Every structure is written in structure tokens, then in C-alpha cells.
Amino acid sequence: MSQKESGVHLSEPRFIDTNRGRFAYRVAGDPDGAPVVMLHGWPESSYCWEPLVSRLPEGFRVIAPDLRGLGDSTRSGEPDAYAKQALAMDVIDLLDVLGVNEFQLIGHDWGGVVAQEVAIAIPERVRRLVIMNITLINNARGNAEAIAAIRQKGARHQWYQHFQQQPGLAEAMIPGNERVWLSTFLQCSDGSPFPADALNEYVRYYSLPETPRAGANYYRAMGIDQKRWETLSDHVYPMPSLYVHGNRDPVVIAAFLNHAESCFRDLRIESVAAGHFLQEEAPDAVAGHIRAFLEPAGA
């Protein structure tokens, strides 16, 4: 039986109210199993984890929230509510309401930054940490080297960040053009089609009111984020950690992993022949690395 046929799939969105708002989340697997929390990035939602969840062994309890402003979660808040430390507090509150204490944590893109902030805030609860295709917020040297390399090549792949930072521009130009907007980013590096079911889901939620503003706030909060990250250069993640890198990513290039070993007590780095959205482009390879790294269910 292939992992695709294992019968483990994400649920439809469920909803929960916390002190910080109303959040959607999906679940999969054994309700009494070892918790694995999965945090998506922009411009996706918890739905992005379906290709990975369906390849995990049974016995895990998967919890995949929609981060603030994306999927079916609350759109409330000014840009400071979308600072990644604040988004981590959203996740921690959600897990507290669900009664989840210790868990293994996986994050992709901005979800990978939020996962790092969760690991900083409550390291005693994060048993293992997986980060995929995003900067390490405590790696000042590597980040500086990567940014210099990107600027030397013209930084042409970063335009969407500057676009969304302009006041009111995303709100004025994206509504009615959601499919064109998302199709600009949601592509496979080998030229194969991006999964149609995933694209349709992201177009659906990006068409909901206030989503272009909320999505843009991830980038409008970057000034707050960067000031915080400047204080983290001495931080070392204490839990066993895995970084899985889609090595065809034109935005999160390999140079961001320069000096990464100094940021962790115990780090593995794995490279996958894929672009930025690696769990959807190369799910077998990504799932294989994560399966080998996670603590077995019941351990």
C-alpha cells in the first residue's frame, strides 16, 4: 500500500474561538495520537498539507490551523497583528484551547517563521521542529549573505513583497483577479501543473472579503519582524530540528542556509529537487525526509 492510499486525509475546516479571534483548523489521523502541528505559509492555507498528510503513517494526530488572515480564519487586525511573533501567540492560544501540550511542529514559508517563534516562546513543548523554505530568523550572517546575493542579481523575484507593502494597492488590484494573482506564484519549478484542487481552494478563500488586505499585512509587518530578528542572533534552538529545502526556489535561495548549523543544537538539512511549494511539487521526497525525522507515534 502506498502512503497516498493510507487513508489519512485532512478534515474539512473546523472552527474555534480563542481570546485572539476565531480560527479555522483541519485535523487528520488518530485523535489520541502524538500531535503534529503544521503551519502553512502565504498565499496558501492549511489545505497545503494534504499531500504530506496522506503520506504520513497512521498514529499521528495532525492539527493544521489556518493562520490569521488566510484560509478561513479571522481577517481582523492591523499590520502589527500579523507580525510573526503575534501569529505565534495565535497558534499557542489555539493549541491551549485544544488541550495540546507537547507536539512536533512543521512550518513552511511564513508558517516556518511562525514555527520558529513558537519554538522560541515555548521550547519545552516543541519536541521536534521542521522548517521548510524560509529564512532562519536567528541567522543574521546567513541572511545578510543571501540578501546580498539576491540584490546582486536584481531581486526580481521579490517584487510581490514590495507590491503588497504599498498602502491600499493590493486591496485595489487583487479583487476580481484572484486566480491570475495566485497563479503568478503557485507554480511547480519543473513546469508541471500546480495541483488544481489546491489552486481552486486558495482562489476560493482569497476571494473572501478583506483577504487581499490581510495577506498584504504579512509583508506590511516585516519592519516589526526585522527589528525583532535583530535581537535573536544569539538564539539557539534546543530541540532536534530538520530543514527541508526546495533547492529550485528563486526567493529562499540556498545561501540562506549559510551558517545554519550555528543556530541549532541539533540540525539536519535535506535538499529536494523542487521549488518553493515543495510539499505540493515533490510530496514523496518531502514526506520521506519528515517520516525519517519525526518521533514515531507512540514513542
Q: Residue 3's pLDDT is what?
A: 42
Structural domain contains residue 7: yes
Structural domain contains residue 93: yes
Total domain count, the chain:
1
Residue-level length of the chain: 299
Q: Residue 292's pLDDT is what?
A: 96
Instruction: Give per-residue burial for 248-259: e unless 16+ CB within 10 Å, then b.
Output: bbebbbebbbbb
Q: Residue 152's pLDDT is what?
A: 81
**Residues 6 or more apart from 159 whose CB is under 8 A from it?**
none
Q: Residue 287's pLDDT is what?
A: 97
Structural domain contains residue 11: yes
Q: How many angstroms separate the CA atoms of 286 and 55, rounded? A: 10
Q: How many angstroms separate the CA atoms of 218 and 225, rounded? A: 10
What tens digit of pLDDT does each residue of 250-292 get?
999 999 999 999 999 999 999 999 999 999 999 999 999 999 9
Q: Residue 151's pLDDT is what?
A: 87
Structural domain contains residue 298: no
Q: Residue 6's pLDDT is what?
A: 62
| One-character DSSP codes across the chain | --GGGS---PPPPEEEEETTEEEEEEEEE-TTSEEEEEE--TT--GGGGHHHHTTSPTTEEEEEEPPTTSTTS-----GGGGSHHHHHHHHHHHHHHHT--SEEEEEETHHHHHHHHHHHH-GGGEEEEEEESS--TT-HHHHHHHHHHHHHTT-GGGHHHHHHHSTTHHHHHSTT-HHHHHHTT---TTSPPPPHHHHHHHHHHHTSTTHHHHHHHHHHTHHHHHHHHTT-TT--B-S-EEEEEETT-SSS-GGGGTTGGGGBSSEEEEEES--S-HHHHSHHHHHHHHHHHSPPTT-
Structural domain contains residue 119: yes
In the structure grid, which three cell numbers stand for residue 271, read together? 535538499
| One-character DSSP codes across 81-94 | GGSHHHHHHHHHHH
Q: How many angstroms separate the CA atoms of 132 and 83, rounded? A: 19
The residue assigned the cell 539557539 is 236
pLDDT tens, residue order, the chain (299 aa): 344 446 789 999 999 999 999 999 999 999 999 999 999 999 999 999 999 999 998 899 999 999 999 999 999 989 999 999 999 999 999 999 999 999 999 999 999 999 999 999 999 999 999 999 999 999 999 999 999 998 887 767 888 999 999 999 999 999 999 999 999 989 999 989 999 999 999 999 999 999 999 999 999 999 999 999 999 999 999 999 999 999 999 999 999 999 999 999 999 999 999 999 999 999 999 999 999 999 987 76
Taking the mean position of all CA atoms in its chain, how far away is CA 184?
19
The DSSP bridge pattern shows strands 60-65 and 21-29 to be antiparallel
Structural domain contains residue 251: yes
What tens digit of pLDDT does each residue of 37-61 get?
999 999 999 999 999 999 998 899 9
Rg (CA), the chain: 18
CB 19 within 8 A of CB 94: no
CATH code, domain with 70: 3.40.50.1820
Please give the C-alpha separations between residue 247 and each of 71, 101, 146, in angstroms, as whole numbers.
Answer: 27, 34, 14
Structural domain contains residue 208: yes
Q: Residue 299's pLDDT is what?
A: 67
Q: Residue 5's pLDDT is what?
A: 47
Q: How many angstroms separate the CA atoms of 296 and 30, rounded? A: 13
Structural domain contains residue 150: yes
Q: Residue 2's pLDDT is what?
A: 40
pTM over 0.85: yes
